[in-house]
Amino acid sequence: MAKRGTKSKRAKQGRRWSRRVTEHSDALTLEGGVFNKRSPKAIARSLKRSAERSRRRKSDSYRSAMSMLTFYVNRAGKNLPASRKRTLNKAKDELRELYGKKRAS
């Protein structure tokens, strides 16, 4: 028989795994509060800056920045308001523009 409270402790630890990935991933080292910025341009610029400065990334800076943004949208997306999701998806377009990439049609 399991001890009381064991499940809740485990659930609390498992609930924030995406936060740990965002903070400690080898994808790149992020500036604090990058996903809390108001404008898509500010988010994209911050991700680009972080990706270019980071020594922890495994691929090119564009790919790392886009990967982290997509990861955040996919993991936090179910708890975000629609307006915030739109802002983050616009940030993807801004990031593509900053790197001179065209959106796949």
Domain boundaries, the chain: 33-105
Share of the chain above pLDDT 70, in %: 72
User: What is the structure's pLDDT at 18?
Assistant: 62
37-86 residue pLDDT tens = 889 999 999 999 988 888 777 788 899 899 889 988 888 777 888 899 99
Nearest 10 degrees: Cα torsion 95, 98, 99, 104: 50
- The residue among 87, 39, 102, 35 whose CA lies nearest residue 65 is 35
Please tell me which residue, 101 or 22, carries the higher pLDDT value: 101
Residues in the chain: 105
Q: Mean pLDDT lowest for which of 16-20, 54-58, 59-63, 94-98?
A: 16-20
